[in-house]
C-alpha cells in the first residue's frame, strides 16, 4: 500500500511512521540530486571545453588563411619589383603597339 508521495519516491505508511527511515531517504534524495547535478555540471563543463576548442580551431584556420593570402600577395609584389627592375624604360602603350606591329 502506497502512502504519501515525497519527491520522486513513494513510501508506504510504515516507512512514513518509521523515524529512522525518513532521514535516510532524505539523505538518498539529496545524494541522488547531487550526483545528477554534478554529472550535468560535468557534461556542461565538457561542452564548454569543446566549444572553446572549436573556437581555437576556427581562429587558427582564419590565421592560416590570412597567412597564405599574405604570402601570395608578397610573391606578387616581389615579382612586380623584379619586372620593374628589368623594364627598359619603354612605356606600356609603346610596348603593346610594338608587339602588334608585324615587322617580319
Strands (E), the chain: 5-6, 9-10
**pLDDT digit string (tens) for 27-47?**
666 666 666 667 888 888 899
What are the structural domain ranges in the chain?
5-100
pLDDT at 18: 52
Which cell numbers hold the place of 2? 502506497
Q: Is the pLDDT of residue 9 over 70?
A: no
What per-residue confidence (pLDDT) applies to 99?
82
Q: Taking the CA atoms of 25, 30, 31 and 33 in sequence, report the sign of the dihedral they define.
A: positive
Question: Which residue in 1, 34, 7, 36 sits closest to 22, CA to CA?
Answer: 7
**Are the C-beta atoms of 50 and 57 separated by less than 8 Å?**
no
Q: Across all residues in the chain, what is the average pLDDT? A: 76
pLDDT of residue 21: 55
- What's the pLDDT tens digit per position in 58-87? 999 999 999 999 999 999 999 988 887 887
Amino acid at each position: 500500500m502506497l502512502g504519501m508521495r515525497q519527491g520522486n519516491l513513494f513510501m508506504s505508511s510504515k516507512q512514513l511512521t518509521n523515524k529512522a527511515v525518513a532521514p535516510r531517504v532524505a539523505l538518498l534524495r539529496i545524494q541522488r540530486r547531487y550526483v545528477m547535478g554534478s554529472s550535468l555540471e560535468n557534461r556542461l563543463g565538457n561542452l564548454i571545453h569543446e566549444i572553446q576548442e572549436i573556437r581555437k580551431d576556427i581562429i587558427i584556420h582564419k590565421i592560416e588563411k590570412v597567412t597564405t593570402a599574405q604570402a601570395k600577395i608578397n610573391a606578387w609584389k616581389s615579382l612586380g619589383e623584379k619586372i620593374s627592375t628589368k623594364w627598359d624604360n619603354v612605356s606600356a602603350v609603346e610596348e603593346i603597339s610594338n608587339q602588334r606591329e608585324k615587322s617580319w
